[in-house]
Every structure is written in structure tokens, then in C-alpha cells.
Amino acid sequence: MARGGDALSDAELLAIFLRVGVKGMSVLDLSRQLLREFEGLRGLFKASEADLRKIKGMGTAKIATLRAIAALNKRWLEEIVRRETFIECSGDVHKLLACKFRDLDQEIFSVIFLDTKHRVISMEEMFQGTINSASVFPREIVKRALDLGAAALIAVHNHPSGNPDPSAEDRRVTEDLKLSAGPHRGWKQRLFQLCG
């Protein structure tokens, strides 16, 4: 309490949440082992339940605590984004979403809805799975944008393969979305697609 959380190591912070260790191992030692085993917080938070259960002392309650920490952190970051972020270029989009998309093993198509000053109104996951013209519905995106009173939107999806180059299908979906969004309420065509 005197020095604040920044004065503590990752293992010490994690130990506060895990609360107790196991027979023969303190909670701090357990935290250090988890961080070592999964190569840091990022690896720990994306680890599967099966992999976590292989570590002595990691039962349902501790795994649920880790999931809750990760979810709370994600919501906090999204809240900051909604309140403080405005988009000037595709680089801003990359900074905003790189952490969210980089570890996913399936394609996710999300849309960022912006106001007239290009501040973020909402970031929403719209479609999952392989992105193709049959699975992305521009009319649903436009409908949601109108519901939110958005002045602009940004379509974003990841490539789990790691190849950032847009496919022919990516380009076609983007063109379909531009055509669908363009005529509505005199929107400027400020539509970016970020791949990678």
C-alpha cells in the first residue's frame, strides 16, 4: 500500500491474486514457476486450462482467477480506448488492436465505429471464422453504424497465419463494405482495412 503496485514484480503482483501456495511451495514461488513455465504474463494468460492444470497447485479456483484478471485487464483497456482514443491513421488502429488480435487462432472480423472527430464510439467483434464474402454481411455493419450514430467506421480482421498481405477475398469484402457504407448519411469514405 505504501509503495504502490508498480514497486512489485510480476510474480509478486500475481501472488496477491493467487493468495495461497501449495504444500512445500509458497504462493510467490508458485507465481514465479507459472511465469517461467509460460514465459511471462502474455503466455500465462493465453495458456489452456489443460496446460495450467499440469502445474501443481493450479486448480479450478486459481485458473478462474487468472481468467478473471485477463478479462478485467481487457475491459479496462477497452474502456480507456472508448474514452480517450481517436484515430488519425491505420497505424493508430494497429496500436489499438495488435494485442487483441496477435494470439488468436481463428479469423475475427471487427469494426471500430467512430464519431465525427474520429473518436472511438465502440469496438465490436462482428464475425468469426474464415473471412469470405458469405460470412461478412456489410448490411449488418452499416445497420450497426447507423444505430450507433457513427460518422465513420474501420473494418479490421486478423490473419492467424501471420501473413499480413490482403487476399483477393479481403479486397472484395472491403469493396463491398465501401459500396454499402458510402451512400449512408453522407459519410466520408474513411474506411481502412488492417490486415495482420
pLDDT tens figures, 6-19: 889 999 999 999 99
Predicted TM-score (pTM) of the model is: 0.56
The predicted pLDDT at position 37 comes to: 96
Average pLDDT for 59-63: 95
| The domain over range 85-195 is classified in CATH as 3.90.1150.10 | no
Q: Are 6 and 12 in contact (CB under 8 A)?
A: no
Highest mean pLDDT range out of 51-60, 65-74, 106-115? 51-60
The predicted pLDDT at position 195 comes to: 36
Q: How many CB atoms lie within 10 A of CB 95?
A: 11
Catalogue the E-assigned strands of the chain: 108-114, 120-128, 152-157, 193-195
With the CA atoms of 26, 31, 35 and 38 taken in that order, what torsion angle do they form, in degrees rounded to the nearest 10?
A: 90
d(Cα 93, Cα 152) in Å, to the nearest integer? 14
Mean pLDDT of the chain: 81
pLDDT at residue 125 tops 80 = yes
The predicted pLDDT at position 161 comes to: 74
